[in-house]
């Protein structure tokens, strides 16, 4: 059974019968994990193994594990600093900041891969305008060059750890104040203004071969009256054609308030897929998951299957103990551990 176009969550720390029933549905292609799905390293390894055992080829397993306030697994995992901390270091020591960002990506990926997670939805490529309620210190910097250099370094670290990168939130969520989880943000700027600023980190990371991108639940009113994740103009004409992106496109969560303008859950999913998403996320609403699985009709294009296949995790360490026996990994842990404590004053 090939992968389907829907990524769902699961209820708790082990699979229930209802979870298994949903994950065996041919429309499902992946699982996104949350903090509620984690109690210990052993439990997480058992959970991901059970998810991967449900189907062949195995379902993708993703998580929002960026660092800072968006890090789902904490006890037993290295605390990754907010990306802004690397940006602060970049202001004084760009080379050092790149080294630290790569080390952070390696740690993040290796630890998740040791627990059976395929990828994290990271890095954030949004510009830090100092206004966004939801982006804030998740962004590397206000300077597009800094964002690109640090995101590229992080992507190299992720790759070293066996993990693909997912750039978000295309074409840029940093300018709007509203949080798309609870409101519908509208960015009134012209396409040219967005293109000369916010689009630049995405363009450069696409040129560098980033494997996946997540669009924003933001309306860019001068370009389209639909949020970017439901917009053929943004996903097909700009992202695919103008920027030449051929990786996987993951929608943001269809249950977010900013997605509600798209109609009922099946209409939203259909619209996102028709606009160009390869996989749509539906989180925290098992009732809507059942509705979507019962009603959605979608035939996966061969290109989507190929793009999603590249998101499976690569090599991984057998355990956290094995990782911590690697001297270079231990050094990276020490270096990154200093960032959050004394960013900007590191002995460089």
CA distance 88 to 143: 11
Among 24-28, 67-71, 283-287, 314-318, where is mean pLDDT lowest? 314-318
- As a whole number, mean pLDDT of residues 320-333 equals 91
Tens digit of pLDDT for each residue in 32-82?
999 999 999 999 999 999 999 999 999 999 999 999 999 999 999 999 999
CA distance 28 to 4: 4
Q: Is the pTM of this model over 0.85?
A: yes
Question: Is 88 one of the annotated binding-site residues?
Answer: no
Q: Is the pLDDT of residue 344 over 90?
A: no
Q: How far is CA 260 from CA 165, 265, 268, in A?
A: 27, 8, 8
Q: How far is CA 213 from CA 37, 53, 72, 114, in A?
A: 24, 27, 20, 24
Q: Of the candidates 136, 135, 129, which has an alpha carbon nearest to the alpha carbon of residue 168?
A: 135
With 0-12 CB in 10 A as exposed, 13-18 as middle and 19+ as buried, what is 187? Answer: buried
Q: What is the DSSP letter of 234?
A: I
User: Cβ–Cβ contacts within 10 Å for residue 179, how many?
Assistant: 17
Tens digit of pLDDT for each residue in 184-202?
889 999 999 999 999 999 9
Q: Is the pLDDT of residue 338 over 90?
A: no
pLDDT score of 345? 44
Question: Please, are residues 229 and 216 in contact by the beta-carbon 8 Å criterion?
Answer: yes
Question: Is 237 one of the annotated binding-site residues?
Answer: no
CA distance 211 to 98: 20
181 or 309, higher pLDDT? 309
Task: Give bridge partners of residue 60 from the DSSP assignment.
Answer: 30
Question: Is 168 one of the annotated binding-site residues?
Answer: yes
Question: Please, are residues 117 and 166 in contact by the beta-carbon 8 Å criterion?
Answer: no
Positions marked active-site: 181, 252
- As a whole number, mean pLDDT of residues 140-157 equals 98
Return the structure tokens found at 200: 């630049």
What are the boundaries of each domain within the chain?
1-60+281-310, 165-277
Question: Is 160 one of the annotated binding-site residues?
Answer: no
Question: Is 331 one of the annotated binding-site residues?
Answer: no
Tens digit of pLDDT for each residue in 99-129?
999 999 999 999 999 999 999 999 999 999 9
pLDDT score of 181? 55
Our CA angle for 141, 144, 148, nearest 5°, is 90
């Amino acid at each position: 059974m090939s992968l389907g176009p829907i990524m769902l969550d699961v209820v708790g720390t082990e699979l229930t019968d209802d979870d298994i029933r949903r994950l065996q549905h041919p429309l499902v292609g992946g699982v996104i994990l949350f903090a509620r799905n984690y109690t210990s390293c052993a439990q997480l390894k058992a959970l991901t193994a059970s998810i991967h055992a449900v189907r062949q080829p195995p379902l993708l397993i993703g998580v929002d594990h960026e660092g800072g306030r968006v890090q789902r697994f904490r006890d037993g995992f290295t605390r990754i600093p907010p990306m802004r901390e690397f940006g602060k270091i970049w202001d004084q020591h760009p080379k050092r900041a790149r080294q630290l960002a790569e080390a952070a990506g390696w740690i993040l990926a290796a630890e998740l891969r040791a627990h059976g997670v395929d990828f994290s939805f990271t890095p954030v490529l949004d510009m830090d305008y100092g206004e966004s309620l939801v982006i804030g210190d998740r962004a590397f910097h206000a300077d597009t060059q800094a964002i690109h250099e640090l995101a590229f370094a992080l992507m190299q670290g992720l790759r070293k750890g066996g993990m693909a990168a997912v750039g978000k939130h295309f074409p840029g969520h940093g300018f709007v104040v509203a949080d798309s989880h609870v409101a519908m943000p509208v960015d009134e700027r012209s396409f040219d203004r967005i293109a000369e600023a916010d689009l630049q980190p995405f363009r450069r990371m696409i040129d560098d071969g980033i494997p996946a991108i997540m669009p924003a639940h933001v309306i860019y009113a001068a370009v389209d009256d639909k949020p970017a994740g439901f917009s053929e103009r943004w996903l097909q004409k700009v992202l695919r054609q103008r920027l030449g992106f051929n990786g996987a496109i993951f929608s943001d969560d269809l249950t977010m308030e900013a997605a509600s303008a798209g109609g009922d859950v099946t209409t939203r999913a259909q619209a996102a897929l028709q606009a160009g998403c390869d996989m749509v996320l539906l989180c925290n609403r098992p009732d809507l998951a059942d509705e979507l699985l019962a009603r959605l009709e979608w035939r996966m294009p061969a290109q989507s299957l190929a793009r999603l296949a590249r998101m499976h995790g690569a090599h991984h360490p057998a355990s956290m103990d094995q990782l911590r026996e690697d001297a270079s990994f231990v050094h990276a842990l020490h270096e990154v551990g200093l960032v959050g404590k004394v960013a900007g004053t590191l002995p460089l």
